[in-house]
Structure 1
Amino acid sequence: MGNPNAPIKLVEYGARSCPTCGAFAREAFKPLTDNYVSTGKVSFEFRDFLVHGAPDVALTLLGQCGGTAPFFPILEQMYQNQNAFLDKLQTMPPAMQQSLANLAPTAVATKLAEHMGAIDFVKQRGIPEAKARACLADQKQLEIMAKPTENAMQSGTVTGTPTFLLNGKKMENVLSWSEMEKALKAAGA
């Protein structure tokens, strides 16, 4: 998001079902985009990091389903709605949980997306149900989507979410907007 040639590059490795990522996004998205990205000083890249398993897979497949234009709006809205998704996961009956054990990852993602209401969520944001279901069933996309997580884990750069890189350097203990804004200002934003 933003000017690809911006002097300050911020990368976030985040998980769509990570409560800390959600809290950060709800606090930081608007000031980050309004005060830094829109000015051309900062570019922001979000990389899905599938650390929380199947719920992240389901939400990420749907979040990436619309392509580049709706990516950030859907991401922000998923974080706004995150508690509702997670609350629905908590209500999953044990029998349903057990039934997922023998399914392929894409089938698990579809069942979880249905249970969380995530298919209806993206339908309300312009992604037709047939397309959403096709995205959830796309094994090749799942493999592509998992690569950044694998690469980051193998390199040791990312061990949890959220993890932020500022101009390629890992930021330690940045979990709030006030800490992030201090770092951006220190970098010249």
Structure 2
Amino acid sequence: MVLRFAAAALLLLLGTGPVTAQQARRAPATNWVNVVAKTPEGGFRQGNPNAPIKLVEYGSRTCPTCGHFAAEGVEPLRREWIASGKLSYEFRDFLIHGVPDLSLALLNQCVPTARFFPVLDQIFANQKAFDEPLHKLIDTQPKTVEAWQQLPPAQAATKFAEALGMLSFMNARGLPEAQARRCLANPALIKGIAGVNAGGANAGVQGTPSFFVNGRRVRAFTWDQLQPELRAADS
């Protein structure tokens, strides 16, 4: 009785009372799709940080298979797994195509954290806008491409971003060109992305996409192949 009175008195002093069942029902559930953070490993995580299932993708923005996964798998992944809080999804860069991947990775990391995944989605959806001019450049100016690849990373990333229309693409998505150029030349960002890439290589990643479920690498490259792995982790 004394303890009950003390608790009631404390609630009165705080200006609150016990939460009723009706109030609890009114409390909105968290949509974990909207919760995004940069991780200590250098990736970007969408979803509940304490989710029992943790999915990590090592991906490349110029990788066609990654683009197919983004088109087919990301929407159901968010709707069926991330939104409820039972799974978190982390994207980590693996620069399978070298400097063009670095350019896009740097620019994607220039936007506010909350915008990382919407911009990533748009990069994948417009993948051909970068791939086609890149292949044309390789076919028609191979010596130029080779020379650019020998430049310091910041200069090389800027050259490819200019040639492949990345600056205008990002400007249309709210990133001013001057800011984009600063990001392309940011040594801390370059070092961070290189570290993520090295971490993937140390984990045995050789191609993209590579998926890890709760730290275990799974043999899956498509949404159809990944779903059974997620269901097994959920059982």
Q: TM-score range by the shorter chain?
A: over 0.9
- Paired with 2:187 and 2:92, the residues of 1 have a C-alpha distance of 19
- Paired with 1:181 and 1:160, the residues of 2 have a C-alpha distance of 20
TM-score by length of 1: 0.93
Alpha-carbon deviations, 1:96-152, whole Å to 9, x = none?
325425532211111111111111111111111111111011122111111011122
- Paired with 2:108 and 2:221, the residues of 1 have a C-alpha distance of 23
Deviation at 1:76, TM superposition (A): 0.9
- Paired with 1:185 and 1:155, the residues of 2 have a C-alpha distance of 23
Q: 2:122 — aligned with what? A: 77
Q: 2:229 — aligned with what? A: 183
Q: Could you say what secondary structure the match of 1:120 adopts?
A: helix
Q: Could you say what secondary structure the match of 1:43 adopts?
A: strand
2:133 maps to a residue whose letter is K
Flag the structure with larger Rg.
Answer: 2
- Alignment partner of 1:148 is 2:196: yes
Q: Could you say what secondary structure the match of 1:91 adopts?
A: helix
Deviation at 1:175, TM superposition (A): 1.5
Contact 2:99 2:149 in 1 (8 A): no
Structure 1 residues 37 and 111 mapped into 2: Cα distance closer, same or farther (>3 Å)? same
Q: 1:159 — aligned with what? A: 206
Q: How does 1:120-159 map to 2 (within 5 A)?
A: 120-156=168-204, 158-159=205-206
Q: Could you say what secondary structure the match of 1:164 adopts?
A: strand
Q: 1:68 — aligned with what? A: 113
Q: Which structure 1 residue ranges, 4+ long, deviate > 3 Å from structure 2?
A: none
* Structure 1 stretches lacking a partner, 5+ long: none
Deviation at 1:159, TM superposition (A): 1.7
Out of 192, 215, 218, the residue aligned to residue 168 of structure 1 is 215
- Paired with 1:17 and 1:55, the residues of 2 have a C-alpha distance of 8
* Structure 2 stretches lacking a partner, 5+ long: 1-45
- Paired with 2:97 and 2:103, the residues of 1 have a C-alpha distance of 11
Alpha-carbon deviations, 1:69-99, whole Å to 9, x = none?
1111111111001112100111224153254
1:162 maps to a residue whose letter is P
- Alignment partner of 1:29 is 2:74: yes
Deviation at 1:154, TM superposition (A): 2.7
Deviation at 1:9, TM superposition (A): 0.6
